[in-house]
Chain A
Amino acid sequence: MLWWGMAGAFTLVWIFMVVLWLVAVRRDPGEVDDAAAERLQTRWIVGGGLVLPLVAIIAILIPGIPIGHGMLPTADDDVLKIEVTGHQWWWEVHYPDTGLTLEDEVHMPAGVPVHIHLRSADVIHSFWVPRLAGKLDAIPGHENVLKLEADEPGSYRGACAEFCGALHAHMGFVVHVHTVNDFEAWLEGAAEDD
């Protein structure tokens, strides 16, 4: 919603500027003396150059700051932790609680936040599930924590977003989101198979 509002408002600003340009080029100004030009300068530059961008910035920061807050990992220790390690060109997915390790697929419960602990075994990768969250890089020597939360069960496509070499385009993965009960069942079943 916010994005569409932002995109819509900015499109209006854009159209306004282009129309202003067309009118400015076509109109006949008559004689403009220096005093009139000076007044116009102050009005246009203060209005368009200072006020307009300030209003736009404040308008996007007011909703933007709380959203940024919401994306911080929560301090809770009992959040499900999944360790994901990027390799050229596949993802190693490890559940430290059960010792389970998967390749290119993540299973998680719906409706609760999950912490993805990101690492890299070689070059920089970036873990991205477009429909669930923003992306975060997996960097050698560093560990980043991404908070992932899915409302609805289903399968979501993921990709590597940071260019990582020849087969970067094929470094996709799938996130399977289950209801909490199904997830528990899956976890038990998978642990037995292992």
Chain B
Amino acid sequence: MSRAEHPVHLVAGLVVWMLWFVVLYGLLSVGCAVAPPGPGQGIWNWINASLWLISLVVVVGLALAGWWCWRAAIVSDESHARFMTRVSAAIYGLSAAATLAVALPVLFYPPCV
């Protein structure tokens, strides 16, 4: 069994998405409780910046993982492996898209109001 067809890839992308989501919401809540930026700063403050940075790292990581599974899917000639790698690649890809979409409001809204 090649590594790309391991069943963990069926869920790994979304597990990462979920952990990222918890970090996003948690950092925002704790950040606002501990060191809320001034209301005049708009979106240019340490909370938005770090949320955006974390999100970008996660998106890039998921996209790379998806690409890796997709390459494995193209070269595999056995139907079980092809099934697993294709579904895994799509899960990684959609996890990356979901991360990007949910992170989008960080560009528009100030954090704590």
A and B in contact, CB less than 8 Å: yes
Could you tell me which A residues sit within 8 Å of B by CB distance?
65, 68-69, 72-73, 75
The 5 closest A-B pairs by CB, nearest first: A75-B39, A65-B108, A72-B113, A73-B113, A69-B108
Q: Which B20-50 residues have C-beta < 8 A from chain A?
A: 39-40
**Which residue of the partner chain, among B39, B40, B105, B113, contacts A65 with CB atoms under 8 Å?**
B105
Q: Are A75 and B108 in contact (CB under 8 A)?
A: no
Smallest CB separation, B2 vs chain A (Å): 24
What 4 new A-B contacts, CB under 8 Å, besides A72-B113, A73-B113? A65-B105, A69-B108, A75-B39, A75-B40
Once the chains are docked, how many angstroms separate the CA of A68 from the CA of B105? 11
Closest residue on chain A to residue B110 by CB atoms: A72
**CB-defined contacts of A72 to chain B, threshold 8 Å:** 113
| Cβ–Cβ < 8 Å partners of B39 in chain A | 75
Which residues of chain A are within 8 angstroms of B108 by Cβ–Cβ distance? Answer: 65, 69
A68 to B109, CA, bound (A): 9
CA distance A69 to B105 in the complex (A): 11
B69 to chain A, nearest CB (A): 18
